[in-house]
Amino acid sequence: MPIKTVYNAQIEHLQILDETGKLDDKLAKDTLTDEQVSYLYEQMTVCRQLDEVAFRLQRSGRMGTYPQNKGQEAAAAGSGFAAKKGVDFLVPCYRENLALFLHGLPMHYVLLHWMGDERGNQIPEGVNITPISIPIGTQMLHATGIAWAFKLRKEPRVAVTYFGDGATSEGDFHEAMNFASVLQVPCVFFCQNNHWAISVPREIQMNSETVAQKAIAYGMPTIQVDGNDLFAVYKASRDAIERARSGGGPSFIEAVTYRLGDHTTADDARRYRDQKEVEMWAARDPLVRLRKYLEKKDLWSEDRQKRLEERAKAIVQEVVKTAEGIEKPATDDIFDYTFAGELPAELQRQKATMRTSSLGQRPEQVGLHAVPERA
Amino acid sequence: MPIKTVYNAQIEHLQILDETGKLDDKLAKDTLTDEQVSYLYEQMTVCRQLDEVAFRLQRSGRMGTYPQNKGQEAAAAGSGFAAKKGVDFLVPCYRENLALFLHGLPMHYVLLHWMGDERGNQIPEGVNITPISIPIGTQMLHATGIAWAFKLRKEPRVAVTYFGDGATSEGDFHEAMNFASVLQVPCVFFCQNNHWAISVPREIQMNSETVAQKAIAYGMPTIQVDGNDLFAVYKASRDAIERARSGGGPSFIEAVTYRLGDHTTADDARRYRDQKEVEMWAARDPLVRLRKYLEKKDLWSEDRQKRLEERAKAIVQEVVKTAEGIEKPATDDIFDYTFAGELPAELQRQKATMRTSSLGQRPEQVGLHAVPERA
Amino acid sequence: MPRSEMMIEKGLTLVDAINEALYQEMERDDRVVILGEDVGLNGGVFRVTDGLQKRFGPDRVVDTPLAESGIMGTAIGLAMAGMRPVPEIQFEGFLGPAFDQLVNHAARYRTRSRGAITVPMTVRVPVGGGIHAPELHSDSPEAIYAHQPGLKVVMPSTPYDAKGLLTSAIRDPDPVIFFEPKRVYRSFREHIPEEEYTIPIGQAKVVSEGSDITMISWGATVFQCLEALDQLPEDVSVELIDLRTIDPIDEDAICQSAEKTGRVVIVHEAPKTCGLGAELATIIQERCFLHLEAPVQRVCGFDTVMPYYKLELEYLPDAARIVEALQQVAAY
Amino acid sequence: MPRSEMMIEKGLTLVDAINEALYQEMERDDRVVILGEDVGLNGGVFRVTDGLQKRFGPDRVVDTPLAESGIMGTAIGLAMAGMRPVPEIQFEGFLGPAFDQLVNHAARYRTRSRGAITVPMTVRVPVGGGIHAPELHSDSPEAIYAHQPGLKVVMPSTPYDAKGLLTSAIRDPDPVIFFEPKRVYRSFREHIPEEEYTIPIGQAKVVSEGSDITMISWGATVFQCLEALDQLPEDVSVELIDLRTIDPIDEDAICQSAEKTGRVVIVHEAPKTCGLGAELATIIQERCFLHLEAPVQRVCGFDTVMPYYKLELEYLPDAARIVEALQQVAAY
Ligand SMILES: Cc1ncc(C[n+]2csc(CCOP(=O)(O)OP(=O)(O)O)c2C)c(N)n1
Ligand SMILES: Cc1ncc(C[n+]2csc(CCOP(=O)(O)OP(=O)(O)O)c2C)c(N)n1
Ligand SMILES: [Mg+2]
Ligand SMILES: [Mg+2]
């Protein structure tokens, strides 16, 4: 046949908990228990509080630039909770703090990172995550490689990697997706489409109707979910993770969400986006929605909320205290992690003298105060 | 609705002239005239001859590495012919010689290039192409930029860029496709899927069923065509080019073809691919198919074929003579094209002295033959 | 754009000066287009392109997708097709993904096509440390690009130089990397001509004359050098040279000074090994060997990864380290 | 793999030696995996990985998609997860697309995570000119990677050194770039031990002792230096040092020799400006200032784009240029 269709594809969108807090019971079956939902709601609230405090820390000069996660907590919670703590491996960017905390990262690490301290990246033994990643779109390749190692060693483990809508424009995104699909590694690509990459809206970041369809290029299973819906995020993530674990290869998830705050504390989003849009999305706030749901199910009360908020404040206060209580790193740290083992001679010299030129650092040169005869 | 389909896509495959030389008249309507087909058949034959001779030049040490185009002539001819000579702009890799010749590149330029001579890239005024490109997958970004310039200046011109199946794995391919689609520039992405990237077969280059579906990621019109079918290639290319010219934005074309020769003269394809596969594709040779068609239509004869072959030989012989008759470039050429205008002082010095250290190149240093007193 | 009250009264910051040069070149030549991440409505994350989209429209000041190789590669295409693109890379750390297009394509097109195809573009890149930024926002990669033939590399340290050099860069028929020391972006104001002017690429500037020691620097560290001169207790006469252009190097200017003083200190932020300091020191010992009274001394970043901001001031050359070097060179 | 008759009789080429080191390390440590374009069935375009996929299977010798950043980035991931990847980049020109992953990720992970995450990988890259290859197949980018803290850079010139250094590199807990001078790949054979052995990274080698001039080189140009020594008419005693490791630099070895001879010539293929020669010259003048009888002299590639092959021998340092430099340094 001279014209024939050789390929067909479609993208599904999944929502389980709608904006009014109404749950689709059929789809919600075998997802989260009441207890788990309450737990995650609490965690999300703590994270929101961390954001508020971090913002103030930056404003008062006690911390550098900080990117709020505000509005995206359901995406981080649902996906992070779907991955097995201590088994699976998270490879984040910087807008899924809660996923990291759910996998055991002490909260003050995140603050330390943004306080300009590498020890915020010194992930404790047993916590299976990579540090917060600043360069956009590069970490998905590491996730693919980590997942590849799991496959080679026949370990039933999965790598989950996070990135934004903007990150999908980078060449490394493409290469990571392609490698993962060709090698059929257990990796889940979790895109937080929060509609903005700093000031660039999704529509001029890409010309496709969905982000999810990018996975079609690689023949990779893909889905679009309501990213402010904890249930939908959890279900899609769990399915993708378990498919990967059982040898079914990588998947892509587009979580449609919204960055309620500025890009970072260095940004002023009012310069480029409409307040109306922000308000529309504020109404879809994942915390608000979840609380409505909990209230509807009589799992929540004004009183519990008050106590939660107080607890969140106390927790975050403690975290700030811990982070700020950590002494400035030793200058030696600049040198000591460049290589394993003994430093090369020149680096030892630089460290010992805090000098970069060897002039004056060698016994025969020190103390020469007159122009000498030539040798 | 909790699960809904938010996007649908399909990929069509187009064939007009089948392997037996039978034409689909309906689809062929308004494509190529008999005269044009004969002309292009002749050009394809000359190109095939160039390949044979180039191979022998390399083997006898008269030329460096050379990549034969053999088997892919219909793809180059149909697409190159669809673009307007002197108006549109071709941005090739190295396996579409014929497209370049159709746009006015003197044939010996290609040989010069592979003889290690930059003058093979010194595209004459009025010939709208960029030179043969060695690094894989990088030139599509330039094509996007060129097309962008056309759009900015409101010129009704189109850029057509060529690349292989392997090239689609590079990050730059992704970025070029995305930029082109977002900016809606008049650019046609023409992929010669010849099934191999040196020794790597398409199936381990990508995990998608088609190459064409990669364009879905960018919301870009896309089609798969029989790349050994001159009519299908021409029609798809013309449609894409005219859509681009009239403001319809970029398109992607996957031309399914086959590299009948080794990757280059430095390669031995028997190390990694099955002779049976080669034979199967040899039966689909675009030249054979076109000749069958011409014969069926009584546009061709044994005698014309013989004369064509002789003419092809004569032409190529002349081309070789021209290329080999060009004297070795002057050593100054190493320097003279580094920057426009006068060279920076240090480069002038390097050029004048053919030295990289200034020792001995300055009057006060020349002729110093004894250790001098310090100043 | 007409100057603000503030600018008229107090002068222009480096950011203002660059903005003014961009504005004037866009007025003058409609082939000039700006492209990059957030350069449009947002005016760039440092506000260097502030107001330009409003004035010249979204076709000439273009917010691109988030892809540096894409920015560089399409800018190359624009330039090949006769435009004068001025791509912005948001921070020098993100030149990484654009490295291949810059070094293997932009830098080589004139040579590889024997002049048939050229790439007149100016790549603007904020550079250097000292502003408490996150990782990969504080490096100084100028030596890498100086090593690549076919590229010009510029790094002004003052508003006056920035305006004149950027104007030259945009008019240059070849690719120029224009590094903007972000530590200086708003650190002071300077009164500079409102009308357009150019400063030739490839000319160093003597910041202060002197006869005992030559000190060479560029970008933000020029100000650490000035601080050091203030702190220098001894009565030593230091000639401070601001290189301004990294490549081509103004060899005559530095050698002239080195021959006069016989003692040289070079200061830069980048790691020592294979930094530009090495090239300068080598040129000086090649050309001024018989005049040198002491080894050329380098004060640079250490050969370690640029630390996060808690330790960045320990890493970056500061006045104390520079003073020490000057004293040692003087005493040698 | 058991050695062929030819190897037993006539010794191993550089290609054979590298292949043997890979084979032995893969036998020894099943965390070692090879990945790259055409490294599998095809055995690499230079046949360096010939036979390895057959022996170790397609899981450990992996043909990847055509994407250098992908190769580098997934190799980093493999290394972070406890493997010992040995990615191959087909030619040094194609390091460009992998530059960001190498320089901004591989090189920094140990530092940025304060040792929590490390990247033990060895990046193999054929390097250099002189084999009549197409464009972007003949560059020498070693200085760029030497400038980046956190990477080790190695470039052996003989089969013996290649085997020992590659073995060390694979066992090294940090990222190592292993540059293979392709001009030497099959240019001669050498009898080397069949059993595994290591050569420490960071140690230069004295190829021939001498007392009048120190000549420093690495990679393929070591043989141009030897040729020059043969042609040197005068009775000058030259000490030839093969650097072997580009970074960390064996400063003691070169300074010891420079102090002895007082005259130094450095030879490399890369462009002069900001090449490794500048760093070596600067170190020598810093540490051996009072011993130098002449400026350190460089014989390098010109500051132009590496030409296509018709002119490549004019570009590359050859014996004649080296002889001239030696004579001038001797006569200074
Ligand atoms: C390679 C690179 N280029 C540019 C930047 C500067 N930058 C930081 S965040 C950002 C936008 C990221 O957008 P997206 O991926 O959608 O993530 P979001 O911030 O919206 O969560 C940009 C351009 C960077 N960090 N890395
Ligand atoms: C960036 C880059 N990586 C690797 C190579 C080496 N190389 C040359 S051709 C080739 C395969 C190209 O395959 P494809 O794109 O399918 O084109 P084809 O040769 O089949 O026409 C490779 C890997 C290169 N030239 N450039
Ligand atoms: Mg975003
Ligand atoms: Mg191919």
Residue D198 has which token pair?
Answer: 């290591």
B67 CA: nearest ligand 2 atom: 19
User: What are the boundaries of each domain within chain B?
Assistant: 13-324, 330-375
pLDDT at position D17: 98
pLDDT at position A214: 98
Which residue has the CA at smallest separation from atom 19 of ligand 2?
B197
Chains touching A, CB cut-off 8 Å, 3+ pairs: B, C, D
State the Cα–Cα distance between residues A190 and A241, nearest whole angstrom. 11
* A20 contacts chain B (CB < 8 A): no
Give the residues across from A251 on adjacent strands.
Answer: A188
Tell which one of B51, B165, B198 to mutate to probe ligand 2, the residue whose CB is within 8 A of the most ligand atoms. B198
State the Cα–Cα distance between residues C318 and D290, nearest whole angstrom. 28
C-alpha closest to that of D141 among C142, C69, C148, B347: C148
Distance B257 CA to ligand 4 centre (A): 9
| Share of residues in chain D with pLDDT > 70 (%) | 100
The minimum CA-CA distance between D65 and chain A, rounded to whole Å, is 7
- Residues in A touching D84 (Cβ below 8 Å): none
In tens, the pLDDT along B185-194 reads 999 999 999 9
* D89 contacts chain C (CB < 8 A): no
- Residues in D touching B326 (Cβ below 8 Å): none
Q: Do B182 and A170 touch (CB under 8 A)?
A: no
Q: How far lies C308's CA from each of A327, C179, C212, C270, in Å? A: 15, 21, 37, 15
For the cut 50, the answer to whether the pLDDT of residue B371 exceeds it is no
In tens, the pLDDT along B40-72 reads 999 999 999 999 999 999 999 999 999 999 999
pLDDT at position A369: 39
Q: Who among D146, D249, D305 is closest to C111 (CB)?
A: D305
pLDDT at position C34: 98
Tell me the pLDDT band of A120, cut-offs 50, 70 and 90.
very high
For the cut 70, the answer to whether the pLDDT of residue C311 exceeds it is yes
The average pLDDT across C93-111 equals 98
Q: Who among B116, B134, B198 is closest to D310 (CB)?
A: B116
For the cut 50, the answer to whether the pLDDT of residue A367 exceeds it is no
Q: How far lies B231's CA from each of A145, B17, B77, B80, B240, in Å? A: 44, 6, 10, 12, 14
State the Cα–Cα distance between residues C168 and D277, nearest whole angstrom. 31
Tell which one of B95, B98, B136 to mutate to probe ligand 2, the residue whose CB is within 8 A of the most ligand atoms. B136
State the Cα–Cα distance between residues C72 and B22, nearest whole angstrom. 46
For the cut 50, the answer to whether the pLDDT of residue A371 exceeds it is no
pLDDT at position C133: 96
B72 CA: nearest ligand 2 atom: 21
C-beta of C94 in contact with ligand 1 (< 6 A): yes
pLDDT at position B1: 59
* Average pLDDT of the residues of chain D: 97
Tell me the pLDDT band of A363, cut-offs 50, 70 and 90.
low
* B20 contacts chain A (CB < 8 A): no
Tell which one of C42, C63, C88, C90 to mutate to probe ligand 1, the residue whose CB is within 8 A of the most ligand atoms. C90
C-beta of A164 in contact with ligand 1 (< 6 A): yes
pTM above 0.90, yes or no: yes
Contact criterion met (CB below 8 Å) for A258 and A229: no
- Residues in B touching D99 (Cβ below 8 Å): none
Which position among A95, A259, A284, A289 bears the catalytic label?
Answer: A259
Q: What is the assigned CATH class of domain C5-184?
A: alpha beta
C-beta of A78 in contact with ligand 1 (< 6 A): no
State the Cα–Cα distance between residues C306 and C137, nearest whole angstrom. 9
**Which of C308, C315, C321, C332 would best serve as a mutation to test chain A binding (most A beta carbons within 10 A)?**
C308
* Average pLDDT of the residues of chain B: 95
* A194 contacts chain C (CB < 8 A): no
Name the residue of chain D whose CA is nearest to B63's CA: D132
Intervals of CATH 3.40.50.920 along chain D: 205-331
Q: Who among A172, A175, A340 is closest to D174 (CB)?
A: A340
Q: Do B116 and D302 touch (CB under 8 A)?
A: no
Residue D257 has which token pair?
Answer: 């020799």
Q: What is the assigned CATH class of domain D205-331?
A: alpha beta
Q: Who among A118, A170, A338 is closest to C308 (CB)?
A: A118
Intervals of CATH 3.40.50.970 along chain D: 5-184
Tell me the pLDDT band of B270, cut-offs 50, 70 and 90.
very high
Q: Who among C143, C297, C307 is closest to D147 (CB)?
A: C143
For the cut 60, the answer to whether the pLDDT of residue B370 exceeds it is no
* B9 contacts chain C (CB < 8 A): no
pLDDT at position A368: 44
C-beta of B180 in contact with ligand 2 (< 6 A): no
The minimum CA-CA distance between A21 and chain C, rounded to whole Å, is 35
| Share of residues in chain C with pLDDT > 70 (%) | 100
pLDDT at position D1: 83
pLDDT at position B13: 98
Active site residues of C: 137
State the Cα–Cα distance between residues C36 and C44, nearest whole angstrom. 8
- Binning chain D into helix, strand and coil, the percentages to the nearest 5 are 40, 20, 40
Q: How far apart are the first and last CA of chain A?
A: 89
Catalytic residue flag (residue D137): yes
Q: Do B354 and D321 touch (CB under 8 A)?
A: yes
C-beta of A140 in contact with ligand 1 (< 6 A): no
pLDDT at position B196: 98
A197 CA: nearest ligand 1 atom: 13
Distance B189 CA to ligand 4 centre (A): 15
Whether this model's ipTM surpasses 0.90 comes out as yes
In tens, the pLDDT along B76-120 reads 999 999 999 999 999 999 999 999 999 999 999 999 999 999 999
Tell me the pLDDT band of D305, cut-offs 50, 70 and 90.
very high
For the cut 60, the answer to whether the pLDDT of residue B367 exceeds it is no
Q: Do B344 and C287 touch (CB under 8 A)?
A: no
Contact criterion met (CB below 8 Å) for D147 and C274: yes
C-beta of D37 in contact with ligand 2 (< 6 A): yes
C-alpha closest to that of A17 among A292, A313, A232, A336: A232
Collapsed DSSP state (helix, strand, coil) of residue A251: strand
Which position among A95, A108, A263, A289 bears the catalytic label?
Answer: A263
Contacts of C188 (CB under 8 A, 6+ apart): C13
Residue with tokens 């793809």: B75
The minimum CA-CA distance between D177 and chain A, rounded to whole Å, is 14
Contact criterion met (CB below 8 Å) for A170 and A136: yes
In tens, the pLDDT along C183-241 reads 999 999 999 999 999 999 999 999 999 999 999 999 999 999 999 999 998 789 999 99
B263 CA: nearest ligand 2 atom: 19
Residue with tokens 């004869």: B301
* B89 contacts chain C (CB < 8 A): yes
| Share of residues in chain A with pLDDT > 90 (%) | 94
- CATH of region A13-324: 3.40.50.970
Distance B264 CA to ligand 4 centre (A): 12
State the Cα–Cα distance between residues D192 and D18, nearest whole angstrom. 12
In the structure, ligand 4 is a single-atom ion and the residues with CB under 5 Å from it are B 164-166, 194, 197
